[in-house]
């Protein structure tokens, strides 16, 4: 109980959810790129800005009302009964003319998203590690 209250404190839950979200996003991008030549395949997308807004709302909720940190259920993401993040990518709407084989992939967009996912993941992992390092120092009582 004590340890969970320590680890649930501060930004840790938000960072953890970010890691989980970016991992799911990586899977989605991998699927999109893998299917770049699959006839009729439509790329999938995840609403990153929407997710980050949800994180902010959850932080505000916790600070102002003392609620547990929960990502509200939206169309593309939410929280399951055990408190884990659930992610359901949606089909990217067709913006431009389809290719001959009925696909709508923009390879440039996918590669940019891939790089972005990696950077977000690095950031969240780094911050989480810093937090854990701080906790460890506090437990040991030495620097």
Which residue's CB is nearer to another protein, number 15 or number 58? 15
- Of 45-53, 56-64, 78-86, 119-127, which segment contacts another protein by CB under 8 A? 119-127
Residue 94 in contact with residue 104, Cβ under 8 Å?
yes
Buried b (16+ CB within 10 A) or exposed e, 106-140: eeeebeebbeebeebbeebeebbeebeeeeeeeee
* 27: its two tokens: 């899977």
Report d(CA 116, CA 113) in Å as an integer.
Answer: 5
Residues in contact with another protein, shown as a per-residue x/- string from 29 to 68 under the rule CB under 8 A? xxx-xxxxxxx-x---------------------------
Residue 128 phi, psi dihedral angles, 5° rounding: -65, -40
Count of residues touching another protein (by CB under 8 A): 30
* 135: its two tokens: 């906790």
- Of 3-11, 47-55, 71-79, 105-113, which segment contacts another protein by CB under 8 A? 105-113
CB of 57 to another protein, least distance (A): 25
Owner of token pair 């999938």: 44
Interface residue list for another protein (CB under 8 A): 19, 22-23, 26-27, 29-31, 33-39, 41, 107, 110-111, 114-115, 117-118, 121-122, 125-126, 128-129, 132
């Amino acid at each position: 109980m004590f340890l969970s209250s320590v680890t649930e404190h501060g930004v840790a839950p938000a960072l953890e959810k970010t890691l989980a979200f970016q991992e799911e996003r990586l899977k989605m991008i991998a699927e999109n790129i893998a299917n770049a030549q699959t006839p009729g395949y439509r790329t999938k997308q995840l609403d990153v800005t929407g997710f980050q807004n949800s994180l902010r709302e959850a932080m505000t909720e916790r600070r102002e009302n003392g609620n547990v940190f929960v990502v509200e259920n939206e169309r593309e993401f939410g929280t399951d009964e055990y408190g884990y993040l659930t992610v359901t990518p949606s089909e990217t709407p067709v913006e431009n003319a389809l290719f001959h084989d009925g696909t709508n992939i923009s390879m440039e967009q996918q590669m940019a998203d891939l790089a972005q996912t990696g950077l977000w993941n690095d950031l969240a992992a780094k911050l989480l590690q810093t937090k854990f390092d701080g906790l460890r120092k506090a437990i040991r009582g030495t620097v």
